[in-house]
Amino acid sequence: EGTEYLVSPRGETQWVRNVRHSGGRLVLILGRRRRPCTATEVPVADSVPILRAYLRRWKFEVGMFFDGVTPDSTDEEWAAVAGRHPVFVLS
């Protein structure tokens, strides 16, 4: 819907710690393009629909990191794993 998100399927990785430490400032690199961005962390309670949509799109590539949760899992199952997968909105 026009909003860009950055999701960490592997959890609290080094890039997540770096973004948090820098106050959300980062340089997004896509191929040869570099774009300065600001990342704001989405509260865990609000991240479930984003994570669900992310997994629906990228399940083949990252599904193994979500401990058996699928796009069709219940909200309770998602709530149990959402805190382990940081989500940031980019601006």
What is the band of 12 on the pLDDT scale with cuts at 50, 70, 90? very high
Which is nearest to 55 in space by CA: 14, 85, 89? Answer: 85
Confidence (pTM): 0.89
Q: Is the pLDDT of residue 1 over 90?
A: no
Res. 2: pLDDT tops 80? yes
In the predicted model, what is the mean pLDDT of residues 12-16?
95
Q: What is the mean pLDDT of residues 41-69?
A: 93
- The total of other beta-carbon atoms located within 10 Å of residue 32's CB is 5
Structure tokens at 28: 């997004």
Phi, psi dihedral angles at 87 (to 5 degrees): -130, 135
Residues whose CB falls within 8 Å of the CB of residue 18, separated by 6 or more in sequence, listed in order: 26
